[in-house]
Amino acid sequence: MKYAIFMSDVVGSMRSSHLAVSDSLSQITSLANSTWSNQLLSPLTVTLGDEFQAVARSYRDAMEVCFWIDEASRRAEFPLSLRFSIVYGEISTPINDSIAHGMIGEGLQQARELITKKTRRSIKYQARTGSDAVDQMLNDLLSVAEAITKNWRRKDYALIDSMLRNPSDGEVGSQFGKLRQQIYKRRDTLMISEYQALKRVILKIAGTVGEDR
């Protein structure tokens, strides 16, 4: 059967503290498993010191969890730069619902190949759905989302996180000791609304994958 598989690894982990990377990954995967337990068939499992994988109930769930993890990683004590492969593909063995280990299949192989393949630049999201047309749409939109987030700086992560969670400029301003107008300008400069709009469209398209299952 085909399943929604996603994998992730840490970009530049060899240049970072192994202990810090491991602690942040453990923190993020544990929180994601408790937050998204109903959307996961096989929980997020750290397979190596800087990689993890999981199987979601649907392709949309997989994509949504990946966005959530990417956003949550900026709240970690040691923020991580992550890249993801999200594949709708075959798993030929029974799904392990307690740990994402011991499963094999073409979909798992493809997901691993995508995050280990060396390219001229690190691509944050790589989507494969089984449809070339859908892949093109998703990957084009994901590349725009990536371009927006690349301009976000670590010093602004706390502010960005608050703006993503709270649409009220006044409330965010009170949290950071800034005027509502200042938050409005920062929201505009950082393209928070545009990022959220892209995410809504991406998730809507992702929701069509596997409908004929």
Query: CATH 3.30.70.1230: does it fit domain 2-150+202-206?
Result: yes
Instruction: Name which residue leads in pLDDT, 76 or 166.
Output: 166
- pLDDT for position 177: 94
- With bands split at pLDDT 50, 70 and 90, how would you rate the model's confidence at 116? confident
DSSP secondary structure code for residue 199 in this structure: H
Average pLDDT over residues 83-111: 90
Q: pTM for the complete prediction?
A: 0.90
Find where tokens 């690349």 sit.
150
Distance CA 37, CA 59 (A): 15
Q: What is the tens place of the pLDDT at every residue in 159-208? A: 999 999 999 999 999 999 999 999 999 999 999 999 999 999 999 999 99
The Cα 165–Cα 149 span in angstroms is 16
Please tell me the predicted confidence (pLDDT) of residue 12: 66
pLDDT at 191: 96
3-state percent helix, strand, coil for the chain, nearest multiple of 5: 55, 15, 30
Per-residue confidence (pLDDT) for residue 15, from 0 to 100: 53
pLDDT of residue 187: 96
Tokens of residue 43, six digits: 């929980």
Cα–Cα nearest to 124, from 10, 37, 46, 202? 10
Could you report the per-residue pLDDT of 11-27, keeping only the tens digit for each? 865 455 677 777 888 88
d(CA 4, CA 40): 10
Residue 213 has pLDDT above 60, yes or no: no
Strand partners, 83: 9
Contact 83, 124 (CB under 8 A): yes
What is the average per-residue pLDDT within 98-113? 88
Q: Which amino acid is at 171?
A: E
Output the furthest CA–CA distance in the chain (Å, rounded).
56
Mean pLDDT of the 111-122 span: 78
- Residue 187 and residue 131: Cα distance in Å, rounded? 35
Looking at per-residue pLDDT, the higher value among 145 and 100 belongs to 145
In whole angstroms, how far apart are CA 78 and each of 48, 74, 86, 112, 167?
18, 8, 24, 25, 26
pLDDT in tens, 120-152: 567 889 999 999 999 999 999 999 999 999 999
**34-68 residue pLDDT tens:** 999 999 999 999 887 688 999 999 999 999 999 99
